[in-house]
Structure 1
Amino acid sequence: MKIAVIGATGTVGKAVVKEAAARGHEVTAFARGVEKVQQGGNIKAVAFDVNDAGFAGQLEGLDAVVSAFNPGWDNPNAGADFAKGAAAITEAVKVAAVPYFLAVGGAGSLYIAPDVQLIDTPEFPKEIYDGAHAARNWLKDLQDRRDVNWSFISPPAAFEGDVDTRSGRYRTGKDDVLFTGEELANISAPDLACAIVDAAENKAHLFERFTVAEAV
């Protein structure tokens, strides 16, 4: 397959590039700093801003696009920058008629109780609220669309990308926060990447959000 990864040097994007390339896919890795992209014969690093005109042309002919776009949680304009980038990516995917698009969002829009999303709880970190709210709005926008073959993955609530082991195993959920025992579930970045590349290969979870966590 020909797979593009947007945000290819971030925690999730880097893991997805590594996993997809290891499976023999042709990977186009979009990043602001291409010098940080993993090197490999089946990896093409491309420096291109998703907000630039012509981004759709970069996506033509691909089998799948994975967006791990994130303007940075410590970015004071994270909410506005995420919203602008997300809209540009969605439009580019639409114009390029990409067969399968997987957006990586945050855990904030997962439900911790009936009608209560994690982002709306008192414990949710205020410093990342704007970015998480923009990710939630992206999901809302995608849920109303059928002009893009989308799927949306939320990492588990405890995910910080600080675990680097790969088991190749994971469990899936839909819209609710997953737990391991009584604790918020986690997953390693490589196993999250496994779930993402599995979904891309199978065009899975079409028109729905899903979440994953460590296997138990």
Structure 2
Amino acid sequence: MKKFAVIGATGYVGSAVVAELASRGHQVVAFARNADKVAQADNVQAVQVDVLSPDFAKQLQGFDAVVSAFKVSYPSANFRQDYLTGANAILEAAKTATVPYLLAVGGAGSLFVAPDVQLVDTPAFPQEIHELADTVRVFANDLLDRRDVNWAFISPPALLGVTGGYSEERTGSYRLGEDDVLMNGDVPAGISVADLAIAIADDVENKAHLFKRFTVASK
């Protein structure tokens, strides 16, 4: 049994990761703005948290790994500033706490579809979420050369769960990729949030992608 923290534990991805890690018998501390919304289990401790709090670094001590599924309300007038401020506060807290492995959950927008062409910059990318994807890309790019915090970054595939036009079926399997959008033939690949959570749990159990960005999709 290991001890993991999940930041953003009541969100779409975060709640799935909490459930997956708990199902494996790990001790899970679920950090959320509203701890009352965390699903209850004997090995899950819900903790209300503000990632901008001066004592947040103390709360990140003692874990085998931390998953950050941090997000802020979108769209909003201050989305870019609020997201980058929060995401970078988590990084600095992880650095101060000497977290062994921080896996940040991002988006598919920063994945490449061709040399030097990222998905977010393609004409077909939905404009209603362009600012969100571009902001997360900024954060991902800033991570690449950092070695003062033990980071990894996972981009879901282009289609995530039923809201992404895919499926919520848990198959128990997935395939790994690196910097490019994974495809199923001529169409972008997808994954259910349950299978994404399996991939995330596998990764943090093994600290498999230190200082790397990777992606996953259904087989």
TM-score (norm 2): 0.95
Correspondence for 2:65: 64
What SS does structure 2 have at the residue aligned with 1:108? coil
Structural mapping, 1:110-149, within 5 Å: 110-149=111-150
SS of 2:123's equivalent? coil
Does the alignment pair 1:178 with 2:182?
yes
Deviations 1:58-78 (A, max 9, x none): 101111000001113333422
User: Contact 1:9–1:37 at 8 Å: present in 2 too?
Assistant: yes
Sequence identity, in percent?
59
Q: Secondary structure at the match of 2:159?
A: coil
The structural deviation recorded for 1:11 is: 0.7
Match of 2:212 in 1: 208
Q: Give runs of aligned pairs for residues 46-61 of structure 1, distance below 5 A.
A: 46-61=47-62
Given that residues 25 and 43 in structure 2 are in contact (C-alpha distance below 8 angstroms), is that contact kept between their aligned partners in structure 1?
Answer: yes
Match of 1:5 in 2: 6
Give how far 1:132 is off: 1.4
Q: Secondary structure at the match of 2:29?
A: strand
| Equivalent position SS for 2:191 | coil
Partner residue in 1 for 2:195: 191
Tell me if the contact between 1:12 and 1:161 (Cα under 8 Å) persists in the aligned partners. Answer: no
> C-alpha separation between the residues in 2 aligned to 1:161 and 1:71?
21
CA-based RMSD: 1.2
Aligned-partner Cα distance in 2 for 1:141–1:189: 26
- Evaluate the alpha carbon distance shift between residue 161 and residue 144 of structure 1 in structure 2; reply closer, same or farther with a 3 A threshold: farther
1:121 Cα deviation from its structure 2 partner: 1.2
1:165 maps to which residue?
Answer: 169
Conservation of the 8 A alpha-carbon contact between 1:170 and 1:195:
yes
Please report how far the alpha carbon of residue 196 of structure 1 lies from its aligned counterpart in structure 2 after TM superposition. 0.3
Rounded to whole Å, the distance in 2 between the matches of 1:66 and 1:122 is 32
Q: SS state of the match for residue 12, structure 1?
A: helix
Q: How many corresponding residue pairs?
A: 215
Q: Distance in 2 between matches of 1:36 and 1:186?
A: 27
Tell me the equivalent position of 1:108: 109
Kept in 1, the 8 Å contact 2:152–2:210? The answer is yes
SS at match of 2:148: coil
Output one character per residue of 1:65-100: Cα deviation in whole Å (capped at 9) or x when no partner.
Answer: 000011133334222111111110000000000001
Asked if the contact 1:108/1:132 (under 8 Å) is kept, the reply is yes
In structure 1, runs of 5+ residues without a counterpart are none
Work out whether residues 79 and 132 of structure 1, in 8 Å CA contact, stay in contact via their aligned partners in 2: no
Q: How far apart in 1 are the matches of 2:138 and 2:145? A: 11
Aligned mates of 2:211, 2:75 — CA distance in 1: 30
Q: 1:19 is paired with a residue of what secondary structure?
A: helix
Partner SS for 1:107: coil
Q: Which amino acid aligns with 1:158?
A: L
The answer as to whether partners of 1:65 and 1:102 remain within 8 angstroms in 2 is yes
How far residue 187 of structure 1 moved from its aligned partner, in angstroms, is: 0.2
Contact kept in structure 1, 2:3 and 2:64, CA below 8 Å: yes
Structure 2: runs of 5+ lacking an equivalent: none
- For 1:205, give the aligned amino acid: H
Structure 2 counterpart of 1:89: 90
